[in-house]
Amino acid sequence: MKKKILNILNIAFLTTTIGFIADGDVKEPTASIRFFEFFMMTGIVFTLICIIYFSYAFAKKNLLKA
């Protein structure tokens, strides 16, 4: 379980980093706002991937049990 969560966190960091590099918007002037945005976006992506992955795993487990 811990390895799965760490893998999902790595995917979220990678996705967020690629998104920030590819983003063409004007950057905020302060570094603290940039870090806040980066970590909040990482948290959102991590949460969404966890919801999708664990919902799929739960449904798959229950369907195979029935």
- Could you report the per-residue pLDDT of 2-60, keeping only the tens digit for each? 999 999 999 999 999 999 889 877 777 888 988 999 999 999 999 999 999 999 999 99
Supply the DSSP string of the chain, one letter for each residue. Answer: -HHHHHHHHHHHHHHHHHHHHH--SPPPSSHHHHHHHHHHHHHHHHHHHHHHHHHHHHHHHHHHH-
- List the structure tokens of 20: 């920030």
Q: Is 0.75 surpassed by the pTM of this model?
A: yes
Write out the residue range of the structural domain in which residue 49 sits: 2-22+31-65
Count of structural domains within the chain: 1
pLDDT of residue 64: 87
| CA separation for the pair 42, 36 (Å, rounded) | 10
